[in-house]
């Protein structure tokens, strides 16, 4: 039965794409969104069935792809990620019709969004390398088209699209190589066949395959130094697309690393996992630092995605290290932490991107320094944004905190059993994660405080109105899930445990126990997020009561804020995003390398009197500047040199042919 | 582990702890001010002055700055809620507090962080330059203090194989040699620096400054008045008492109640008060002889604390 639903899901996705392309303008988006959501519901039905029964669902057809046929096999790990992707996509589908007034309503866009969603689901359901790669490429192309939707209006969009196209295809090439390499050596292209031969593959092949997979999937997950496309493409894409990319697509990078590293190759030497941890630590720190310095709201969120994927990779790597050292239970615990981090990230980040889409639609900007004062003008969107942002900052009683707690517990207990090498790796990881946590708080206090609170900083923010209900509900749905999972993580943890047990070889399926409380079984560690929530709510109620009811006092008065006795407070006197982050920028000057420029112009009569001072400061991406720009320059240089070879003369081309022929003959002889 | 069936007992213990911290916090603040005044050759306000201030503030009118929204009002409420929540469940008077089996050190850190974040958001919500300034500085310091704090927590947790706070205190009682172990001492040193930073004491922040430009914490709460300011004052002083209480119970746990019952609870309260008073006097004395550090020298101090904590982790791992 489930197999049929799986086929139905793909069919619904195709129908949504067709409807988006063919339906008349006035119902186009609504029909496409409804059919896409239906496909996602079908996906969730299958995923829940797989997670409940513990048996994978498989479908094969020989007709769809020539030569090899297409095979779908949905395992437990895939099922977890399918559910996450589908939930995010459903929220986006609820949001989309409202957003259509602001973009993403063209025939092409309505056709491509369902393709993008369905291809992401198929990537997770693929049962062999060919299906996987075809779906992967479809996903890459459809997301590229969606990034470029607004290219007529903005110059930056085109450049972002170029970066994304190059990075995603370099990554795809790397993945193709990795998959071809393992399937050629294993003598079969289905994942099951590769898995059964994994032990017999030569060590060198395994290592090369893993490095290629890390590069390819790492670039999709936005891992430093392959993250450069992310802070360009995520901001330039329309917000529902950003939400899909950041909430669902980057997860596929993590899935890919798990697929190749654990499921296909069955784990490997400890340096694999040490490399994964190292990548994770660098990404987490760099992402958090850049996020705290960013002043473009979507850029901030994009860097925070890099940061969160870094945390996931740390958990994945530590899980591998521990499982490698025959501590399967702890390895499974770290894997549960990794999966919970993925689930959490999808929920809060998609919600944030959708909220920013609402803000952008209402104010026309996403620059923090041109927003402000939205808490009164857009109360629902603000509340949703605040909840999701506090969840990213890992504050209780929201879901981000539970994930972070599990990660710290697995690191703590991992430290206890580990040897010297693992001990050092884990200690450094803990230190980096702790700093990351602090920086994330700065980034999101800034995002809320400067972007939503205070006085409006521009006419656009001044005139903002709350967005249509559909947009509020789409974003709010995900924020509500953040709260639910923050209070009752045990609703999903048992499923994550089972998925983790299929990834970590020999892992036990129950590493956590409890209903209201979350208890590490066999270890000493309990968390009771529900009690924290209840306690906080209770005390807050008592505090409000004490404040308001105990004594009768004059009514609340509104007064001007304190500005050293000045009468007039203007919006320009508020702290801006740049000034808020300035102390931190100064502390991490060496890493961020902010670009500061002060221009003082004097009055004509005397240079002792200043006419105006212009101050400009921007924080670019250091990795891009140091690693990518020189590489691009080098490619350009070689390109212009190579042009000298081609002058259009047929004689010369014939000469080239002759020389090439001679060289081939010499080599063969 | 089954939940303790003794709900009434748990409520009693939590109530006693909240009462002790809630009243003791402002008194501790008064005591520290008194100590400073005496050492500086002044008479100073009486020890119970903060409590009198709170009573006075509660009777006053509430004033909201022009663009303050619900987040501005939520700041003090969330701050006091987090302080009370931790006060109720942390091992202060007894090693078996209410919900003690789920009182995790990491959890406590993040619950307290929730209060700080809301205070910073409330400050930014006022739309005034000082609100932004205080919030920016406070969150920066918080971000730099957090690594030191979490790594110190890790160093505490390694020998005990858990980050459960009551279990850590019990571990100190049953194996006193743990307390004197080098890893623990290094972590404690880091924890002390973090406590000073988090509670806005010298050399990080001057709690008695009256100049807006040098304020950190005071700039953040500049717009709160009347009962809101009272809640902030109580919440902040409770937080100081809490952090000091945890500090002393982790370093000298003796006197804390290990059994249930009124008598041992009273003994625990007296022991806690004595230890916290000593710690408070020590900090106040230290403050008399210290100047405030420049804001941009603070990272060095906090990085120092971080290194101490990391050394603590390494030592704990080696000594294992």
Interface with A, mutate which of B60, B111, B128, B229 (most A CBs under 10 A)? B128
> What pLDDT is recorded for position B1?
41
Q: Is B2 on the interface with A (CB under 8 A)?
A: no
CB-nearest partner of A438 from B65, B142, B154: B142
DSSP structure class, residue A128: B
Which of B233, B208, B183 minimizes the C-alpha distance to B284? B208
Average pLDDT of every residue of chain A: 89
Q: Is B268 on the interface with A (CB under 8 A)?
A: no
Q: How confident is the model at residue A545 (pLDDT cuts 50, 70, 90)?
A: confident
Interface with A, mutate which of B121, B141, B153, B198 (most A CBs under 10 A)? B121
Query: What is the pairing mode between strands B63-65 and A557-559?
Result: parallel
Residue A590's CB is within 10 A of a number of other CB atoms, namely: 7
Q: How confident is the model at residue A255 (pLDDT cuts 50, 70, 90)?
A: very high
In a domain, A662, yes or no: yes
Looking at residues A531-559, what average pLDDT do you find? 83
> What pLDDT is recorded for position A304?
95
Q: Is A574 on the interface with B (CB under 8 A)?
A: yes
The pLDDT tens digits for A290-300 are 999 998 999 99
> What pLDDT is recorded for position A551?
63
- Which carries the bigger pLDDT value, residue B102 or residue A419? B102
CB–CB contact A583 B82 (8 Å) = no
> What pLDDT is recorded for position A415?
83
> What pLDDT is recorded for position A241?
94
Chain B segment 272-311 residues within 8 A of A by beta carbon are 295-296, 299, 306, 310
pLDDT above 50: residue B2: no
Looking at residues A485-496, what average pLDDT do you find? 91
Which structure tokens are listed for A644? 């000298």
Query: What is the pairing mode between strands A518-520 and A526-527?
Result: antiparallel
Cα dihedral B228, B234, B236, B240 in deg (nearest 10): 180
Q: How far is CA A608 from CA A552, A598, A602, A612, A658, in A?
A: 60, 17, 7, 12, 74
How many angstroms separate the CA of residue B304 from the nearest CA in chain A? Answer: 13
> What pLDDT is recorded for position A507?
59
pLDDT above 80: residue A451: yes
CB–CB contact B164 A525 (8 Å) = yes
Task: Report d(CA B274, CA B166) in Å as an integer.
Answer: 20
Task: Report d(CA A305, CA A241) in Å as an integer.
Answer: 15
Q: Is A554 on the interface with B (CB under 8 A)?
A: yes
Which of A433, A456, A312, A460 minimizes the C-alpha distance to A373? A456
Domain ranges of chain B: 7-319
Which H/E stretch holds residue A627? none
CB–CB contact A449 B124 (8 Å) = yes
Residue A192's CB is within 10 A of a number of other CB atoms, namely: 16
Contact call for residues A529 and A395 (beta carbons, < 8 A) = no
Q: How confident is the model at residue B87 (pLDDT cuts 50, 70, 90)?
A: very high
ipTM of the complex: 0.94
DSSP structure class, residue A126: B
Three-class SS of residue A58? strand
Residue whose pair of structure tokens reads 């918080």 in the numeric block: B142
- Which carries the bigger pLDDT value, residue A417 or residue A278? A278
pLDDT above 60: residue A402: yes
Interface with A, mutate which of B127, B144, B151 (most A CBs under 10 A)? B127
CB contacts < 8 Å between A and B, how many? 263
Which of A16, A404, A495 minimizes the C-alpha distance to B109? A404
Task: Report d(CA B70, CA B139) in Å as an integer.
Answer: 21
> What pLDDT is recorded for position B3?
47
- Which carries the bigger pLDDT value, residue A384 or residue A554? A384
Percent of chain B with pLDDT over 90: 53
Q: Is B158 on the interface with A (CB under 8 A)?
A: yes
Which of A299, A301, A221 minimizes the C-alpha distance to A259? A221
In a domain, A307, yes or no: no
Lowest mean pLDDT among A62-71, A125-134, B178-187: A62-71
Q: How confident is the model at residue A215 (pLDDT cuts 50, 70, 90)?
A: very high
In a domain, A337, yes or no: no
Q: Is A571 on the interface with B (CB under 8 A)?
A: yes
> What pLDDT is recorded for position B286?
93
Q: What is the domain extent for residue A613?
A: 594-669
Instruction: List beta partners, residue A610.
Output: A602
- Residue A455: CB partners within 8 Å, gap ≥ 6? A372, A373, A569, A570, A571, A574, B67, B127
Q: Is A237 on the interface with B (CB under 8 A)?
A: no
Lowest mean pLDDT among A292-306, A613-627, A652-666: A613-627
CB-nearest partner of B113 from A441, A536, A581: A441
> What pLDDT is recorded for position A643?
85
Interface with B, mutate which of A524, A545, A576 (most B CBs under 10 A)? A524
Q: How confident is the model at residue A203 (pLDDT cuts 50, 70, 90)?
A: confident
The pLDDT tens digits for A61-81 are 776 666 677 788 998 999 999
Task: Report d(CA B97, CA B13) in Å as an integer.
Answer: 6
Q: How far is CA A6 from CA A54, A56, A89, in A?
A: 16, 12, 17
Residue A492: alpha-carbon gap to chain centroid: 20
> What pLDDT is recorded for position A174?
96
- Asked if the peptide bond before residue B292 counts as cis, ω within 30 degrees of 0, the response is no
CB–CB contact B226 A563 (8 Å) = no
Count of structural domains within chain A:
1
Task: Report d(CA B181, CA A14) in Å as an integer.
Answer: 65
CB–CB contact B136 A561 (8 Å) = no
Chain B residues touching A534 at Cβ < 8 A: none
Q: How confident is the model at residue A173 (pLDDT cuts 50, 70, 90)?
A: very high
Chain A residues touching B2 at Cβ < 8 A: none
Q: How confident is the model at residue A329 (pLDDT cuts 50, 70, 90)?
A: confident
The pLDDT tens digits for B259-293 are 877 888 899 999 999 999 999 999 999 999 988 88
DSSP structure class, residue B62: P
């Amino acid at each position: 039965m489930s197999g049929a639903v799986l086929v139905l899901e793909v069919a619904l996705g195709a129908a949504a794409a067709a409807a988006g392309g063919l339906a008349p303008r006035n119902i186009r988006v609504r029909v496409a969104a409804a059919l896409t959501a239906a496909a996602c519901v079908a996906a969730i039905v299958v995923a829940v069935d797989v997670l409940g029964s513990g048996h994978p669902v498989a479908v094969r057809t020989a007709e769809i792809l020539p030569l090899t046929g297409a095979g779908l096999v949905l395992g437990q790990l895939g099922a977890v990620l399918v559910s996450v992707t589908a939930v995010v996509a459903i929220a986006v589908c609820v949001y989309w019709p409202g957003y259509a007034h602001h973009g993403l309503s063209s025939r092409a866009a309505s056709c491509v969004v369902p393709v993008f969603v369905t291809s992401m689901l198929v990537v997770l359901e693929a049962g062999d390398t060919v299906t996987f790669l075809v779906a992967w490429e479809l996903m890459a192309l459809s997301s590229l088209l969606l990034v470029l939707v607004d290219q007529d209006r903005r110059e930056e969009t085109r450049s972002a699209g170029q970066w994304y196209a190059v990075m995603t295809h370099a990554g795809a090439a790397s993945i193709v190589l990795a998959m071809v390499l393992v399937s050629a050596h294993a003598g079969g292209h289905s994942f099951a066949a590769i898995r059964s031969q994994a032990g017999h593959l030569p060590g060198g092949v395994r290592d090369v395959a893993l490095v290629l997979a890390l590069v390819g999937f790492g670039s999709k997950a936005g891992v430093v130094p392959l993250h450069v496309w992310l802070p360009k493409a995520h901001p330039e894409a329309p917000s529902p697309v950003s939400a899909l990319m950041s909430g669902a697509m980057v997860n596929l990078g993590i899935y890919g690393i798990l697929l190749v590293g654990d499921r296909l190759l069955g784990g490997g030497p400890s340096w694999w996992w040490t490399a994964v941890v190292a990548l994770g630590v660098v990404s987490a720190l760099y992402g958090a630092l850049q996020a705290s310095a960013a002043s473009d709201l979507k850029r901030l969120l994009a860097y925070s995605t890099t940061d969160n994927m870094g945390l996931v990779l740390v958990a994945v790597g530590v899980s591998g290290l521990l499982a490698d050292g025959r501590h399967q239970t702890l390895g499974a615990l770290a894997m549960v932490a990794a999966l919970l981090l993925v689930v959490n990230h999808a929920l809060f980040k998609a919600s944030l991107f959708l909220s920013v889409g609402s803000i952008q639609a209402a104010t026309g900007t996403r620059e923090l320094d041109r927003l402000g004062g939205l808490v009164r003008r857009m109360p629902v969107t603000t509340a949703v944004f605040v909840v999701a942002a506090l969840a990213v900052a890992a504050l209780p009683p929201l879901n981000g905190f539970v994930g972070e707690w599990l990660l710290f517990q697995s690191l703590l207990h991992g430290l206890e059993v580990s040897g010297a090498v693992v001990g050092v790796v884990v200690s450094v990881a803990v230190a980096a994660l702790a700093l990351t946590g602090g920086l994330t708080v700065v980034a999101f206090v800034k995002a809320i405080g400067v972007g939503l609170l205070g006085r409006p900083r521009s006419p656009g923010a001044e005139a903002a109105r709350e967005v249509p209900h559909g947009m509020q509900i789409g974003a709010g749905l995900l924020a509500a899930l953040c709260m639910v999972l923050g209070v009752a993580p045990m609703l999903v943890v048992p499923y994550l445990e089972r998925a983790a047990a299929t990834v970590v070889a020999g892992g036990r399926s129950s590493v956590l126990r409890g209903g209201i409380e979350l208890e590490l079984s066999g270890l000493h560690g309990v968390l009771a997020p529900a009690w924290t929530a209840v306690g906080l709510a209770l005390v807050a109620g008592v505090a409000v009561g004490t404040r308001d009811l105990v004594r009768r006092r004059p009514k609340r008065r509104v007064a001007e804020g304190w500005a050293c006795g000045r009468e007039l407070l203007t919006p320009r006197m508020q702290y801006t995003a740049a000034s808020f982050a300035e102390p931190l920028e100064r502390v991490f000057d060496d890493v961020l390398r902010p670009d500061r420029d002060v221009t003082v112009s004097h009055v004509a009569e005397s240079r002792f009197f200043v006419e105006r001072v212009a101050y400009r400061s921007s924080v670019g991406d250091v990795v891009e500047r140091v690693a990518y720009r020189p590489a691009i320059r080098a490619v350009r240089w070689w390109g212009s040199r190579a042009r000298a070879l081609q002058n259009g003369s047929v004689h010369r081309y014939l000469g080239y042919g002759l020389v090439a022929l001679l060289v081939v003959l010499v080599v063969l002889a | 582990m089954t939940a303790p069936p003794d709900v009434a007992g748990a409520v009693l213990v939590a109530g006693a702890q909240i009462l002790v911290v809630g009243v003791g916090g402002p008194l501790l603040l008064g005591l520290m001010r008194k100590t400073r005044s005496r050492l500086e050759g002044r008479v100073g306000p009486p020890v119970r002055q903060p409590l009198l201030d709170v009573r006075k503030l509660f009777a006053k009118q509430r004033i909201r700055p022009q663009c303050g929204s619900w987040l501005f009002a939520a700041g003090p409420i969330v701050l006091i809620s987090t302080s009370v929540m931790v006060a109720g469940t942390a091992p202060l008077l007894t090693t078996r507090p209410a919900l003690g089996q789920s009182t995790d050190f990491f959890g406590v850190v993040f619950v307290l962080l929730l209060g700080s974040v809301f205070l910073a958001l409330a400050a930014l919500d006022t739309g005034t330059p000082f609100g932004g300034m205080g919030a920016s500085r406070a969150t920066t310091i918080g971000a730099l203090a957090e690594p030191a704090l979490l790594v110190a927590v890790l160093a505490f947790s390694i020998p005990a194989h858990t980050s459960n706070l009551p279990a850590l205190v019990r571990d100190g009682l049953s194996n006193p040699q743990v307390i004197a172990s080098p890893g623990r001492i290094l972590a404690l040193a880091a924890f002390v620096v973090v406590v000073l930073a988090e509670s806005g004491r010298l050399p990080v922040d001057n709690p008695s400054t009256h100049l807006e430009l040098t304020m950190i914490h005071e700039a953040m709460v500049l717009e709160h008045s009347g009962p809101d300011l009272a809640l902030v004052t109580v919440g902040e002083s409770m937080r100081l008492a809490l952090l000091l209480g945890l500090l002393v119970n982790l370093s000298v746990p003796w006197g804390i109640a290990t059994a249930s019952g009124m008598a041992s609870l009273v003994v625990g309260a007296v022991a806690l008060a004595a230890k916290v008073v000593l710690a408070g006097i020590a900090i106040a004395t230290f403050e008399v002889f210290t100047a405030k550090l420049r804001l941009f020298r603070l990272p060095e101090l906090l990085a120092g604390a971080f290194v101490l904590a990391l050394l603590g982790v390494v030592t704990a791992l080696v000594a294992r």
